[in-house]
A and B are shown apart, each in its own frame.
Chain A
Amino acid sequence: MEKTKLKNNGNMLYRIFSMVILVILAILFIFPIYWIITGSFKTVPQAIPPEWFPSEFTGMHYEKLFRQPAWRWLFNSVAMAVLSMALVLIASSMAGYVLAKKRFTGRKIIFSLLICAMALPKQVVLVPLVRIMNFIGLYDSLWAVILPTVGWPFGTFLMKQFSETIPTELLEAAKIDGANEAMIFTNVVCPVIKPAFGALAIFTFINTWNDYFLQLVMLASRRNLSISLGIATLQAEMSTDYGLIMAGATLGALPIVIIFLAFQKYFTNGITMGAVKG
Chain B
Amino acid sequence: MRNKDSKEVVMNKNGVSHAIQRNIDKVSYIFLTPMICFFIIFVLAPMVMGIFTSFFRYTMRDFSFSFLSNYTRMFADPVFRRSLWNTVVIVVTSVPLVTIFSLWAASAIYERNRSTTSFFRGVFYLPVVMGTVPVVVVWKWLFNPYFGLLNYVLKAIGVMAPNVRFDWLGEQSTAIWCILAILFTTSIGQPIVLYVAALGNVDKGIEEAAEVDGASRLRTFWQIKWPSIMPTTLYIVVITTINSFQCFALIQLLTSGGPSYSTSTVMYYLYEQAFTYYNYGYANAMGVILAVIIAFFSAIQFRVMRSEEA
Residues of A within 8 A of B (CB): 11, 18-19, 21-22, 25-26, 28-30, 32-33, 35-36, 39, 46, 48-50, 87, 90-92, 94-95, 97-99, 102-105, 107, 110, 113-114, 117, 119-129, 131-132, 147-148, 150-153, 156, 181, 185, 206, 209-210, 212-213, 216-217, 227-229, 231-232, 235, 240, 242, 245-246, 248-250, 252-253, 256-257, 260-261, 264-265, 267-268, 271-272, 275-276
A129 to B244, alpha carbons, bound, how many Å?
23
Known contacts: A95-B36, A212-B249, A235-B137. The answer to whether A117 contacts B47 by CB under 8 A is yes
Known contacts: A91-B38, A98-B31, A240-B147. The answer to whether A132 contacts B45 by CB under 8 A is yes
Q: Which residues of B contact A246 (CB under 8 A)?
A: 137-138, 141
A261 to B118, alpha carbons, bound, how many Å?
10
Q: Are A29 and B126 in contact (CB under 8 A)?
A: yes
Question: Which single member of A11, A50, A260 contacts B217 (CB below 8 Å)?
Answer: A11
Q: List 12 A-B contacts (CB under 8 A).
A: A22-B120, A49-B152, A94-B34, A103-B14, A125-B43, A126-B274, A127-B53, A185-B31, A227-B131, A235-B253, A260-B129, A275-B235
Q: Which residues of A contact B284 (CB under 8 A)?
A: 124, 127-128
Q: Are B130 and A257 in contact (CB under 8 A)?
A: yes
Q: Is B135 an interface residue (CB 8 A)?
A: yes
Q: Is B290 an interface residue (CB 8 A)?
A: yes
Question: Which single member of A131, A151, A253 contacts B39 (CB below 8 Å)?
Answer: A151
Q: Which residues of B contact A261 (CB under 8 A)?
A: 122
Known contacts: A104-B29, A128-B50, A268-B193. The answer to whether A150 contacts B140 by CB under 8 A is no
Q: Which residue of B lies closest to A226 (CB)?
A: B133
Tell me the minimal C-beta distance from B27 to chain A in angstroms.
Answer: 5
Q: Is B123 an interface residue (CB 8 A)?
A: yes
Q: Is B178 an interface residue (CB 8 A)?
A: no
A169 to B133, alpha carbons, bound, how many Å?
49
Tell me the minimal C-beta distance from B158 to chain A in angstroms.
Answer: 15
Q: Which residue of B lies closest to A114 (CB)?
A: B39
Q: Which residues of A contact B290 (CB under 8 A)?
A: 121, 123-124
Question: Which single member of A102, A124, A126, A128 contacts B27 (CB below 8 Å)?
Answer: A102
Q: Is B230 an interface residue (CB 8 A)?
A: no
Q: Which residues of A contact B140 (CB under 8 A)?
A: 235
Q: Which residue of B lies closest to A10 (CB)?
A: B217
Q: Are B34 and A275 in contact (CB under 8 A)?
A: no
Q: Are A105 and B39 in contact (CB under 8 A)?
A: no
Most buried by B among A30, A32, A209: A32
Known contacts: A103-B14, A256-B130. The answer to whether A110 contacts B43 by CB under 8 A is no
Tell me the minimal C-beta distance from B306 to chain A in angstroms.
Answer: 14
Q: Are A48 and B147 in contact (CB under 8 A)?
A: yes
Q: Which residues of B contact A132 (CB under 8 A)?
A: 41-42, 45-46, 49
Known contacts: A124-B290, A126-B287. The answer to whether A249 contacts B133 by CB under 8 A is yes
Interface size on B, residues (CB 8 A): 93
A153 to B47, alpha carbons, bound, how many Å?
14
Q: Are A119 and B126 in contact (CB under 8 A)?
A: no
- Besides A30-B123, A121-B287, A125-B50, 10 more A-B contacts (Cβ < 8 Å) are A26-B119, A32-B139, A98-B31, A104-B27, A127-B280, A129-B42, A156-B35, A213-B249, A228-B131, A253-B134
Q: Is B85 an interface residue (CB 8 A)?
A: no
Q: Which residues of A contact B288 (CB under 8 A)?
A: 124
Q: Is B270 an interface residue (CB 8 A)?
A: yes
Q: Which residues of B contact A129 (CB under 8 A)?
A: 42, 46
Question: Which single member of B133, B239, B245 contacts A252 (CB below 8 Å)?
Answer: B133
Nearest 5 A/B pairs, CB to CB: A104-B28, A95-B35, A151-B42, A46-B147, A128-B46
A250 to B133, alpha carbons, bound, how many Å?
11
Q: Which residues of B contact A30 (CB under 8 A)?
A: 123, 126
